[in-house]
Amino acid sequence: MEISTKYDPKDIEGKWYDYWLEHKFFASKKDESKEPFTIVIPPPNVTGVLHMGHILNNTIQDILIRKARMEGKNACWVPGTDHASIATEAKVVRMLREKGIKKSDIGREKFLEYAWEWKEKYGGIILKQLQKLGASCDWDRTAFTMDEKRSEAVIDMFIHLYEKGDVYRGLRIVNWDPEAKTVLSKEEVIYKDLNSKLYFVKYKVVETGELLTIATTRPETILGDTAICINPKDERYTHLHGKTAIVPIANREVPIILDEYVDMEFGTGCLKVTPAHDENDYNLGKKHNLEVIDILNDDGTLNEKAGFFVGEDRFVVRKKIAKQLEELGHIEKIEDYKNQVGTSERTGAVIEPKLSEQWFLAMKKLCEPALKNVMNDAIQFHPPSFKNMYKSWVENIQDWNISRQLWWGHRIPAYYLPSGEFVVAKSFEEAYAKALTINPSLKKEELKQDEDVLDTWASSWLWPISLFDKDELDYYYPTSVLVTGFDIIFFWVMRMIIAGYELKNEKPFEHVYFTGMVRDKLRRKMSKSLGNSPDVFKLMDKYGTDGMRYGIMASSAAGNDIIFDTEVPKSQKQEDVDAFALTEPDSKLCETGRNFSNKIWNAFRLIKSWEVDENLPYQSETAVQWFRAKMNKTLAEVEKQYTQFRLSEAISNVRALIWDEFCSNYLEMIKPDYDQEAKKSLPIDKETLATTLAFFDELMRLLHPFMPFITEEVWQNLTPRKAKESICIASYPKAEAFDNQIISEAESIFEIVQNINNIRNEKQLKKSLELDLFFNAKDTDLYTQKFASTIQKLGKVGKISPVQASTLEPSKTISFVVKDAEFFIPLELEIDVEEEKAKILKEIEYQKGFLNSVEKKLSNERFVNNAPPQVIEVERKKKADAEANIKVLEESLGSL
């Protein structure tokens, strides 16, 4: 069978994924005899597409779940999508607008039809994309935050919290998104630095006729002013206490009130108070019993209450009003001013604070177990430093505004009577029955359900609970680990913890693994708008999915940001971004991953090419013993790294084991010689081949969680497999006790080989030139028996024999020292003896310096008294080694 020298992942990946699906290897059923290992996917937006953040996140989940599955646990990874209320609704609105349809014209029902249609069309694309990534989810469990089961859970939770008294309606200043025409929670508001203007507006004081200057960035809101506020301690304005002022344009008389809230240092020390459009002003208004004039419509235009500029957008009005104020002589000056302006996370629109009646959830009490159980590590954060961030969030939590003025979402199960009273119930029928107890003559059509829907996170927070049927829940819950970005600690992680303790009195997950943000070379977060996110499918095509998985994992310590070394646009100018979009993404990390795949592929080719000679004796005992020990040592290290979620270290370790130890060392050690005449390799003995195949098998199983496709392909072809077998359900390798002695012996052998190679390089010797090696050491067998063939093969050495230095011609011999043994290589060329002497002297000097420092340590009484015995033991050994080394070097010097 001819096997290509290049590994081509293209057909292989799809083939095996289909195979896995066909045999339902990823399906999980409740089974009390098996330990569950559960992960719930952070549900991506239903209409989203796969980007680098998802790749990182889901690769980690896949690694953890695949390993657990191989370990014989009942691995259950539940996939699904989020309805993403505001984001999806915004997309549907835009789509309809392009068709010339306005949301308000078609009404709720028709709009939802369009939305569901949209969801059916584009929803779940991302799940297909996850399959390309190799995600081993139990696809039969695929859930959606707005499907029947999840909806029921959301409504039940609302009713539960309402009946407990935690959910209430309240009139508050809220963050209003005039584009989406909905309220947002304060976490959905992103503050951006903007260059704006600070307008100094003059107000006339009624009693004195003087002009009082007030600084504002939002002059249009003067139409809603209902007071002027000064600090009672401000001596500049003492004479104005109890006076009134006239709001320009509106010509409204408003009181001048006193409050220490006002910062005397800022602006002029006078504050205009607009209770309907600023939270602080609202609080002042409440305190001082001020009138509240709401001048804005839902879409950000001014309403009749403003009295002027009715129907015009707030930003248009800002300019117009500034101009008019100027013409009226009411502007003292306008300064450039940098301030932060709240914008909507989803629509980008500038947020308007607005007085509005909304549903809230009281959070303080609910948070108590959520804080406690993170701080005491009942739920473990990785890395733990995120506990601090979490703590500050939870401690400063405010009531959660859970209502949204949208249609795409879970409609609030509150029903209003014409009287304004309301009932909360699971269905209209129940609500009607309840309503009748308030008003026995109520007609059905008089009972109206609340128009609002719930915040998206009000369904996501139930995700780990709502994914499982009642009879499964106690088995799968709490889940094992949550893998997510730290940017949604507050939105999601905290709320899931709260819901978990509220509903189940149990944590939702044992561990939380926080990934960093994927950034470009300029350390900018990858985003669509910057155009700096590489096309993940191009990456998969170019490097293979395994290669890309390797690339992203190799550099992703938990919580650390990943600098994804992709080409980026030179600037944010549109033409640069466009030009970038046309170039192919590139990444060194993925390239390493692809190269690694190829290395494995070629090791596989090599082993497959060997022919067995049944009569040959077992030839590779030493190599086998060494590699077995080395592998077990690495297995133990990797296992530890898994438990600490140090996956990038684990994958590097596995790579080094396979590439450096197995391919570069072990295979070279056992590789049969080449028969020059027959132009092919000599045969191998059957025992060595069988063991090597077993090693390779084990290595593939070790690597499988990281690189599932190539490992399956190789594993399937290594030895004949039965139908329905797969590496993804094969056993995960377990570390066994290993012999440290042989590892350190082999290390000195490799050091000898390295010295020989070094000499070859320095003396520019041809690789084909066979060298002879003489040595002077106590343990002769180590070099002439046990590791003789290793030295011969790896160092391209002929004879190896013990010898006295003095018997060799110094001017034609090069020497080196490894541990306490001296080695000599006679060469056919003159050696610069002085140069050799200098080299040895330098080495002696170094060793003596080292010895000196060790002796100093050992003669220090405080060290000997305080250091642990094993540390002292190590120092003693170091001393002995150095002394032996120096002795050998000095002998060597003497012989020159």
Of residues 291 through 330, those in contact with RNA by CB under 7 A are none
Residue closer to RNA by CB (options 728, 851) is 851
Q: Which of 170, 578, 860, 876 binds RNA (CB under 7 A)?
A: 860
Q: How far is the CB of 469 from RNA (least distance, A)?
A: 36
Note whether 115 and 92 are within 8 A (CB): yes
Tokens linked to 41: 């996917």
Which residues have C-beta within 8 Å of that of residue 227, sequence separation ≥ 6?
A: 254, 255, 256, 257, 272, 273, 284, 285, 288, 290
To the nearest whole angstrom, how small is the minimum distance from the Cβ of residue 307 to RNA?
21
Taking residues 338 to 377 in sequence order and writing x for each that binds RNA by CB under 7 A, - otherwise, the string is: -xx-------------------------------------
Interface residue with RNA among 850, 855, 887, 893 (CB under 7 A) is 850
Q: Which residue in 334, 389, 530, 893 binds RNA (CB under 7 A)?
A: 389
Q: Which residues of 657-695 are buried (b: 16+ CB within 10 A; e: fewer)?
A: bbbebbbebbbebbbbeeeeeeeeeebbbebbbebbeeb
Q: Rule CB under 7 A: say whether 380 interacts with RNA.
A: no
Determine if 271 is a binding residue for RNA (CB under 7 A).
Answer: yes
Query: Is 760 one of the binding residues for RNA (CB under 7 A)?
Result: yes
CA distances from 637 to 556, 641, 642, 739 (A): 18, 6, 9, 15
Structure tokens at 672: 């049969």
Rounded Cα distance, 408 and 842, in Å: 77
**Residues numbered 499-538 forming contacts with RNA, rule: CB under 7 A:** 523
Show contacts with RNA in window 804-843 (CB under 7 A).
none
Window of 133-141, 258-266, 420-428, 708-716 that interacts with RNA by CB under 7 A: 258-266
Angle in degrees, CA 420, 424, 428, rounded to 5: 95
Indicate which single residue of 119, 630, 671, 704 sits in contact with RNA (rule: CB under 7 A): 671
Nearer to RNA, 154 or 765 (CB): 765
Size of the site for RNA (CB under 7 A): 91
Full DSSP string of 694-749 = HHHHHHHHHHTTTSHHHHHHHHHHHS---TT--GGGSPPP------HHHHHHHHHH
Window 96-135: contact mask with RNA (x via CB under 7 A): ----------------------------------------
747 contacts RNA (rule: CB under 7 A): no
Contact stretch for RNA (CB under 7 A) within 354-362, 406-414, 553-561, 772-780: 553-561
CB of 165 to RNA, least distance (A): 26
Q: Which residue has the tokens 């490992």?
A: 711
Identified binder of RNA from the candidate list 208, 238, 388, 419, rule CB under 7 A? 388
Q: Which stretch binds RNA (CB under 7 A): 85-93, 495-503, 689-697, 760-768?
A: 760-768
Give yes or no for residue 694 binding RNA (CB under 7 A): no
If we measure between CA atoms, which residue out of 544, 548, 550 comes closest to residue 651? 550
Both structure tokens of 556: 């992703």
d(CA 266, CA 333): 15
Could you tell me if 123 and 116 are in contact, meaning their C-beta atoms sit under 8 angstroms apart?
A: no
What residues between 784 and 803 interact with RNA by CB under 7 A? 796
When the beta carbons of 213 and 324 are compared against RNA, the nearer one is: 213
Task: Please identify, among the stretches 128-136, 137-145, 707-715, 854-862, the one whose residues bind RNA according to the rule CB under 7 A.
Answer: 854-862
Q: Which one of 280, 449, 780, 784 is in contact with RNA (CB under 7 A)?
A: 280
Nearest CA to 476 out of 461, 487, 488, 465 is that of 465
Q: Which tokens hold the place of 308?
A: 């002027």
C-alpha distances in Å from residue 877, one per residue of 566, 867, 872: 48, 15, 9
Structure tokens at 29: 């059923």
Residue 340, strand partner residues: 193
The least CB distance from residue 838 to RNA, in Å, is: 14
Site for RNA in 638-667 (CB under 7 A): 644, 646, 649, 652, 659, 663-664, 667
**Among residues 40 and 844, whose Cβ is nearest to RNA?**
844
Residues within window 131-190 making contact with RNA, judged by CB under 7 A: 186-187
The nearer residue to RNA, 663 or 893, going by C-beta atoms, is 663
Minimum CB distance to RNA, residue 387 (Å): 9
Q: Residues 87, 174, 262, 481: which binds RNA (CB under 7 A)?
A: 262
Of 402-461, binders to RNA (CB under 7 A) are: none
Question: Out of 246, 350, 397, 563, which residue is the one contacting RNA (CB under 7 A)?
Answer: 563
- Quote the CA–CA distance of 276 and 355 in Å, as a whole number: 5
- Print the SS3 string covering 444-461: HHHCEECCCEECCHHHHC
- Asked if 681 touches RNA (CB under 7 A), the answer is yes
The long-range contacts involving 110-117, CB below 8 angstroms and separated by at least 24 positions, are: 111/407, 112/407, 112/408, 115/88, 115/89, 115/407, 115/408
Q: Which amino acid is at 54?
A: H
Of the pair 618, 674, the CB lying nearest RNA is at 674
Tokens of 694: 């077993």
Q: Which stretch binds RNA (CB under 7 A): 373-381, 423-431, 501-509, 597-605?
A: 597-605
Tell whether the torsion through CA atoms of 229, 232, 233 and 236 is positive or negative. Answer: positive
Calculate the alpha carbon distances from 420 to 171, 446, 501 in Å: 15, 11, 34
Whole-angstrom distance, CA of residue 344 vs CA of residue 357: 19
Which range, of 381-389, 448-456, 688-696, 807-815, touches RNA by CB under 7 A? Answer: 381-389
What is the spatial distance between Cα 366 and Cα 355, in angstroms, rounded to a whole number? 26
- Name which position in 105, 210, 260, 263 contacts RNA (CB under 7 A): 263
Binding flag, residue 896, RNA (CB under 7 A):
no
Cβ nearer to RNA, comparing 439 with 592: 592
**Closest approach of Cβ 61 to RNA, in Å?**
21
Q: Is 618 in the site for RNA (CB under 7 A)?
A: no
One residue of 560, 716, 780, 895 binding RNA per CB under 7 A? 560
Closest distance to RNA from the beta carbon of 833 (Å): 21
What is the footprint of RNA within residues 874-893 (CB under 7 A)? 874, 878
283 binds RNA (CB under 7 A): no
506/496 Cα distance (integer angstroms): 11
Contact 325, 249 (CB under 8 A): yes
Q: Which is nearer to RNA, 504 or 640 (CB)?
A: 640
Report the alpha-carbon distance of residue 436 to residue 430 in Å, rounded: 10
Cβ closest to RNA, residue 111 vs residue 706: 706
CB nearer RNA, residue 807 or residue 852: 852
Beta bridge partners of 334: 199
Residues 192-231 interacting with RNA (rule: CB under 7 A): 198, 214-218
Pick the closest to residue 818 from 771, 775, 880 (CA basis).
775
Query: Looking at beta carbons only, is 147 or 843 nearer to RNA?
Result: 843
